[in-house]
Amino acid sequence: MANITINGKKITAQPGETVLKVAKEAGIDIPTLCEHPALVSFGACRMCLVEVQGQRNLQTACTFPVTDGMDIQTESPRVVSARKLILDLLFSERNHYCMFCEMSGDCELQDLGYRYGLDHWAYPTYTKGFPLDATHKYYLMDHNRCVLCSRCVRACGELVANHTLGLRQRGAETMIHADGNIPLKDSTCISCGTCVQVCPTGALVDRRSAFMGRNVQTEHLESTCSRCSIGCGMKIVTRGGNVLRIDSDWASPVNRGLLCKRGRFEPLYDERPRITAPLLKRKGTAVPASWDEALQAVSDQIGGVKAKDLGVLASTHATNEALYLVDSLFRQELKAGNVGILNDATPKLFGKVPGRLADIDGSDLILVVGADPLTDQPVASYPLKRAMDRGVRIVVVDFKENGLAPFASMSLGMTEIKKAVAIAERAEHPAVLYGSSVTETVADALKKLAKKASFIPIEPGVNTHAAVAFGLNNGFKPSATKVLYVLLGEQDWDCEEVLKKIPKNAFVVAQASFRNTLTDRADVVLPMAIWSERGGNLTNTEGRLRKLNKAVEPQGEAKPDWEALSLLAGKLGKKLGASLKELSGRANKQFKP
């Protein structure tokens, strides 16, 4: 251990750790601008300069390693003078007019200006206009506010491995650009929003939440994305009962702060018409009804048919609590055997304990078999592309076009699985990402890697892991249905095929959030709360229990998925739990955080 002194305070630290890290752990604040905890230290902005006894020049705390006996000053007159000079230069380099900037009040550069008492421009500014790129649907890039910290460039390359952003030209003419200096909307940007999240100023701004409130005026609620089976941690930002935006949760062990377009932006741009009140079809026309009337109609129909005539379809967008009630109410209590889910499931391979996405970072070869994470689970593709940047070979095995194929070292058909396995056998630490397309033949071939590889299942859908655990993936036969109950929720499901096969006089119940073909056909529609309006839990593709938190109140008379099912159970005389806490305790005991 190294014994060092910072501002007269004696500290014991690990040799080789940076001064910034040691100081932070000791509760000593050193200002930064280009530094971000998720990025490799860069030392570009020079705001973290410190004075180290025995060193001729000031050193960047974010890159300078500690050694035994080191004596450091973080706020000496020399250090403060250097930081003020850096700020003066930064403010003069672009047009930082705080009163007109969306980030005023939440800007790291502005905070540093206040911290070091800047009350005027030391050097001429506002001498040149800089371009604004407002072509992107979700955010804009204002070069007038840019400080060239390159956080956005490094996040795009180091974290997402998309490499869209870069620096062009040199010196005072240096600018951030996308690809060959083309508009953002025409670039290779995948709209993950990571660059917006890490920007310290108003250079990259979320369009939807701009000027809607400072951080101190908003609430940040930790929750889980329910757009795919990865279960990314996120923070829902609200003000006055309205959702403003979705931010990263850098502490999340699943996605480590990264999100994709489907998780960060698309939920806020969903324009499908909401269902906000129960609907009951009378004389062929759906009319608003009370919850009691709607549930009574459903109860009467379910109670009037035999178990073999009752069909149930459940979306994997539902919570653990709702899926538990589907199992308990329909399968256990009502003895319905015609139960299914709305997507395929990934098979379990020869009793192998599932690996986790973090295993990719330590792999020297990766097989992607029957899964397309780039298209279906974008956040899972980021570590794959980072691995490719490190020189790790990626072999894609699929029976159809795969979004990862252009990035892969080799792309093979399913009939060539033995060739892929032979390649993986020569690696020291292979990883296998596999999806629902894995057949028995493919599974048998993969057995050769059972003792060597980490097997990471990539489930289609969202909460598929829990749905399978509750036994809901039994297969569904539409033709054997007289009463069909569909727990649809927010899923955009093409129901045409099922509706064609069920009897024309079948009674259909849809528990849904948005109007669609199914709700138009349904005899009863129960309005369901959406992602921001419900609490509960999901189980992600790794088998991790992930927490959902309600950020705003449900719209109209909509209710969370579990609550609607609990009320229906009560109407049918089944007491299966009436509170979220009670249901969570029963539903989640088999899953681990």
Q: What is the SS3 assignment for 365-404? A: EEEEECCCHHHHCHHHHHHHHHHHHCCCEEEEECCCCCCC
Mean pLDDT, to the nearest integer, of 242-268?
A: 97
- How confident is the prediction for the chain on average, in pLDDT? 96
pLDDT given for residue 41 in this prediction: 94
User: pLDDT digits over 490-504, tens only?
Assistant: 999 999 999 999 999
Give the CATH number of domain 279-345+465-587: 3.40.50.740
Mean pLDDT, to the nearest integer, of 528-553?
A: 97
Task: Output the CA torsion 94→100→105→108 (10° steps).
Answer: -10
Structural domain spans, the chain: 2-75, 123-269, 279-345+465-587, 357-458
* Residue whose entry in the numeric block shows the structure tokens 């009163």: 99
Split at pLDDT 50, 70, 90, the class of 409 is very high
Split at pLDDT 50, 70, 90, the class of 466 is very high
DSSP readout, 71-126? EEESS-HHHHHHHHHHHHHHHHHTT--GGG-TTTTS-HHHHHHHHTT--S-SS--S
> Which of 65-79, 340-354, 554-568 is least confident?
340-354
pLDDT given for residue 576 in this prediction: 92
pLDDT given for residue 348 in this prediction: 87
How far apart CA 301 and CA 507 sit, in angstroms, is 7
Residue 507 is given by DSSP the state: E
Task: Answer yes or no: is pLDDT of 26 > 80.
Answer: yes
Share of the chain above pLDDT 70, in %: 100
Split at pLDDT 50, 70, 90, the class of 351 is confident
CATH T-level assignment (fold) for domain 2-75:
Ubiquitin-like (UB roll) (3.10.20)
Mean pLDDT, to the nearest integer, of 107-126?
A: 94
Task: Answer yes or no: is pLDDT of 439 > 80.
Answer: yes
pLDDT given for residue 475 in this prediction: 86
pLDDT given for residue 55 in this prediction: 95
How far apart CA 174 and CA 172 sit, in angstroms, is 6
pLDDT given for residue 436 in this prediction: 95
Give the CATH number of domain 123-269: 3.30.70.20
Distances in Å between the Cα of 296 and the Cα atoms of 93, 229, 293, 299, 377 are 69, 34, 5, 5, 40
* Helix residue ranges, H only, 434-503: 440-446, 464-469, 496-501
Report the chain's C-alpha Rg in angstroms.
Answer: 28
C-alpha 95: how far from chain center: 34
Task: Answer yes or no: is pLDDT of 43 > 90.
Answer: yes
CB contact at 8 A, 236 and 551: yes
Domain 357-458: give its CATH architecture.
Answer: 3-Layer(aba) Sandwich (3.40)
Residue 325: closest CA among 579, 583, 589 = 583
Mean pLDDT, to the nearest integer, of 411-425?
A: 97
pLDDT given for residue 171 in this prediction: 87
> Token digits for 43?
């030392």
CB contact at 8 A, 190 and 382: no
Q: Is the sign of the CA dihedral 511, 514, 520, 525 positive or negative?
A: positive
Q: Is the sign of the CA dihedral 353, 323, 331, 347 positive or negative?
A: negative
pLDDT given for residue 106 in this prediction: 96
* b/e sequence 246-276, b meaning 16+ C-beta within 10 Å: bbbbbebebbbbbbbbbbbbebeeeeeebbe
The tally of CA atoms less than 13 A away on the side-chain side of residue 532 is 23
CB contact at 8 A, 258 and 193: no
Task: Answer yes or no: is pLDDT of 354 > 90.
Answer: no
Mean pLDDT, to the nearest integer, of 556-561?
A: 98
pLDDT given for residue 593 in this prediction: 84
Distances in Å between the Cα of 376 and the Cα atoms of 96, 266, 346 are 40, 14, 14
Angle of the 561-571 helix axis to the 580-587 helix axis, nearest 10:
100
pTM: predicted TM-score of the whole model, two decimal places: 0.94
> Token digits for 90?
């930064």
pLDDT given for residue 257 in this prediction: 96
Task: Answer yes or no: is pLDDT of 352 > 80.
Answer: no
Task: Answer yes or no: is pLDDT of 592 > 80.
Answer: yes
